[in-house]
Structure formats: structure tokens, C-alpha cells
Amino acid sequence: MLDLNNRNFINFSKEKLLEIYSNLESHVKGFFEEWFWGTSRKLFEVAMVVFVLGGQGLWVLGTVVGLFGIFLVQSFYLSGRISVIAKRLTEVSLGTGTTIASLVLNLNIVQRLGLKGFFERKFKESVGEHWRVFEEFREYHSFRWLLQLNIFNLIYISTISYTLIQVRRGEVPIGQLVLVKSTFDSILGIVIYLTEKRVAWIQQREDFAILRKEFKNLGWRERESKEPAEWGKEGSINFSDVVVQFSESVQIRVPTLKIQRGDKIGIIGESGMGKTTILNVLLNSVDYSGSVQVSGKELKGLSFSPKQCTHINSSDPLYKISLRENLVLGASHISDEKVKRVLEGVRAMSFISSLDVVVGSSEFNLSTGQEQRIRLARGLLQETDIVLMDEPFNGIDGETKVEIMDFIKRVTKDKTVILVTHNK
């Protein structure tokens, strides 16, 4: 998950995605915790089974082992087939959680627009689909165990019956019957252990696949091993016939754009005109056609490191940790004096009493404009060569905005700044 560009993770299906992640974590943790003791015990039980059945004759041992081989093959086959239904169940469960959350969290709008009937219908459709897939999963799971237990019982009854005949003939002592029964109890435990571990592994794999799918649905791409972008003293970025295609009829086109090191560029336009898309191209987070070259090299094969490029976005989260930690993001070399100097520059010190205060706590609830000033301070503290700003003045009044803009001009004098806004 840390290899995913998941900046917007908290903005979509948060509760359900975190539930899936928690399940995945518990599967992995349980597997490693049980691996040593659980598996070593099962291996000992297998050795005991071979010893006991071998005492009744090699052909008995061979027959039972052969039948159990067939049993395990079909068991693993059925467990594998269940992954398709498990995947659908996870997808439907995720969709149901998202639908219900989006409807319930907007009940006031539902009431205001008179959408009670529509709300009830969508709620029933969403829950009904989840229940249908759950029933299918449960029925298949029940069928799998019914078939497995029938085969197991067939082997069990056959072996016990043959042992009873041997006891009656005096070929083996009656204690052998007790040992055979005990070994079959062990075998059943081993089979349940193996098959359920396989089902858990399949469910874990499908849960992780769903997480990856949700990330990709939001336009996130996995970070690839790319060559670092060499910005250099004479660095430049050149767009040539760049097209980002959103659908057959919607595309963003940048015929030509040249950005020199130290340039200050403002991109102004109405919402939906593609301003943010240009920043996403620079961040290599959207697919595009055409050419974007950084100092003569194609951007698609390069990547800007966090030490080279800062992206300040109005939707970036502030975490429920101390204000200092929110601002420096682990960079211990940034002093408190420098932090306060930048906070003063973005006109934030007036509402800050301490850098140790926890963001989001009862003593530090921020307005939209105040949050945005914290984001600006955090981005400027990184001191990167390239600063990308996406609607950096959301919620900030005109006079304060002018003062902050003057400060940004001073601290980014030798840096390359690209600012996206809908306000002139």
C-alpha cells in the first residue's frame, strides 16, 4: 500500500476500505503466528497417522493415503473455485457500504428534494444485491463442506470397518481400533486446517485485489522504478501536443508549454477546464499522449522525488497528530524558529498557541481558510526546487491572500512555481 500514490485514500470509501485492510492484516498476522506451532503440530499428527495405519499393512496405508490424496485435490479445487464468489462478495460489500454511506450522510438533501422513494429503492437494491451474493457464497461454501465430509466419512467408515474385522479375527488388538479412530480425528483437523488456510489466503488475495482496483479507479497509479528527473541549473519542461483523454468526447489538450527553471506560472480558468490535469501530468499521475520533456528526457520514464517537487493541494489531509508533526512531516532538521517564521508568513500564527497542539482536537478546530494556511506552510517548509499549487487560497479572504502571495513570492524567488486557480 505504501507503494501506491494514495493521497486521496481518505476521501473515498474510507470505512469499508480500512475494514478490508484490517481483515487483510489479520490474515497475514494470523498466518505467521500460527505457522510454526500450528504447522509443526500438524506434521507430527501426520507422522502418527502413517505409523498407526502402517501397522495394519502397507496396502491399508497406501489405500487410505490415495483416497485422502483425492480428497485433498478436490478440496483444494473447490477452495480455489470459491475465490470467484469471494471476489464478487467483496466488491458488492464495498459498493454497498459506499452507497449506504453516501445516502445516509446526505439525508438532509434527500428530505429537501423529496427523494424518499428513490432513497428507499436504492437502499433496497444495494442491500439486496449484497444479500444475494452472500447467499450464493454461503451455499457454495456449504456444498463444499458437505461433499468433503461425505468423502471423509466414506474413508473413515471403510477403515474403521476393516479394523473391526481385523480385531474380530484376532489379527490386531482392540487398542488398534482406538488408535485408528484417534488418527482419523487428527486427519480431520489437518484437512480443516489446510483447506481453511487456503480459503483465508484466497480471501486475503481478493481483498488486496479490491484495494488495488479502488486505487486505480480513482486514477492512482503504482509507482514504477523510474529514473530521477534531472532538473539542473538550466532545467526546463516542454509540453508538445499533450492530450489527456477522459472519454470519447472529453479531452484536455496542451499544444505547447515551456517552463524554465525559476519561472512563475499562473494557470487561471473555470472549474473543469483542465488546470489540475496539467499538474497531474507533471506528477506523472495520469496517462497522456504527446511529449513532455524534462531537460531533454521524456517525463514518462522519469519521476520527481519529494525532495525536488512539492504539491500543495486544498484537499490534502491534515492528520490528527501535533501541529509540528503535520508541518515538518518527519524532517527533524527543520527548527521551530523556521516553522514559526513560515507560519507568520502565511498569516497563521494569530490562531496558533503552541506547535504541540493536536490538529483536530477540541482546542484546535480550524476553519477552511485556516486549514489551507497550514497546508501552505507545510508545502513551503519542504524547500523544493519546484512548487505546484492547486487552488492554494481556498477559503482565504482577499486582503490576507495578497499578504500571503507576497510572502510566497519572497520565499520562492529562485524556485519554479506553477499555480492553478479559478480566481484572478
Per residue in 304-337, pLDDT (tens digit) is 766 788 888 888 888 888 899 889 887 788 899 9
Residue 138 maps to which CATH number? Answer: 1.20.1560.10
Residue 363 has phi, psi (to 5 degrees) of -90, 0
Strands 416-421 and 302-303: unpaired
The pLDDT value recorded for residue 387 is 92
Q: What are phi and psi of 18, to 5 degrees?
A: -70, -30
Distance CA 255, CA 239 (A): 7
**207/268 same-domain check:** no
**pLDDT > 80? residue 412:** yes
Q: Of 183, 217, 251, which one is at a domain's C-terminal end?
A: 217
- State what percent of residues in the chain have pLDDT above 70: 56
d(CA 302, CA 282): 10
Does residue 281 sit within a domain?
A: yes
Planar angle of CA 409, 414, 419, nearest 5 degrees: 50
CA–CA gap between residue 143 and residue 78 (Å, rounded): 9
State the Cα torsion 331-336-338-343 to the nearest 10°: 100
When pLDDT is averaged across residues 55-73 and rounded to a whole number, the result is: 70
Q: How many alpha carbons lie under 13 Å from residue 168 in its C-beta half-sphere?
A: 6
- Residue 168 inside a domain? The answer is yes
Residue 121 has pLDDT above 70, yes or no: no
Average pLDDT over residues 361-372: 87
Q: What pLDDT sits at residue 265?
A: 92
Residues 30 and 175 in one domain: yes
Residues near 131 by beta carbon (within 8 Å), at least 6 away in sequence = none
The grid coordinates of residue 54 equal: 502402517
Q: How many helices (H) and strands (E) does the chain have?
A: 10, 10
Q: What are phi and psi of 358, to 5 degrees?
A: -85, 125
Tell me: do 40 and 125 sit in the same domain.
yes
3-state secondary structure 293-356: EECCEEHHHEECCCCCEEEEECCCCCCCCEHHHHHHCCCCCCCHHHHHHHHHHCCCHHHCCCCC
Q: 54 lies in which domain range?
A: 9-217
213 lies in the same domain as 266: no
Query: Of 163, 184, 217, which closes a domain?
Result: 217
19: cell is 475494514
Mean pLDDT (whole number) for 92-100? 58
Q: Please check whether residue 241 lies inside any domain of the structure.
A: no
Question: Residue 108: helix, strand or coil by DSSP?
Answer: helix
Q: Pick the range with the lowest mean pLDDT from 72-76, 217-221, 355-359.
A: 217-221
**Quick check: 11 pLDDT over 80?**
no
**Are 156 and 270 in a shared domain?**
no
Separation of alpha carbons 303 and 299, rounded Å: 7
**Do the Cβ atoms of 214 and 12 come closer than 8 Å?**
yes
> In terms of domains, do 45 and 115 share one?
yes
| Residues 174 and 280 both lie in one domain | no
Q: Which of 217, 247, 277 is the last residue of a domain?
A: 217
* Within a domain: 192: yes
Q: Report the SS3 class of residue 357.
A: coil
Across the chain, what does the average pLDDT equal? 74
Q: Please check whether residues 194 and 309 belong to one and the same domain.
A: no
Asked whether residue 197 falls in the same domain as residue 275, the answer is no
Number of domains in the chain: 2
User: Which three-class secondary structure state does DSSP give residue 243?
Assistant: strand
- Burial tier of 424 (Cβ tally within 10 Å: 0-12, 13-18, 19+): exposed
Average pLDDT over residues 18-44: 60
pTM (2 d.p.): 0.52
Q: Is residue 404 part of a domain?
A: yes
Domain annotation covers residue 353: yes
Q: Name which of 115-124, 181-190, 261-270, 388-397 the model is least confident about.
A: 115-124
Note whether 207 and 335 are same-domain residues: no
Domain CATH for 412: 3.40.50.300
Contact between residue 292 and residue 369 where contact means Cβ atoms under 8 Å apart: no
In terms of Cα–Cα distance, which of 423, 321, 422, 296 is closest to 378?
321
Q: Is residue 244 part of a domain?
A: no
Three-state secondary structure call for residue 290: strand
Are 210 and 308 members of one domain? no
Q: Do the domain assignments include residue 360?
A: yes
Query: Alpha-carbon Rg of the chain, whole angstroms?
Result: 31
**149 shares a domain with 86:** yes
Distance between CA atoms of 384 and 328, rounded to whole angstroms? 13
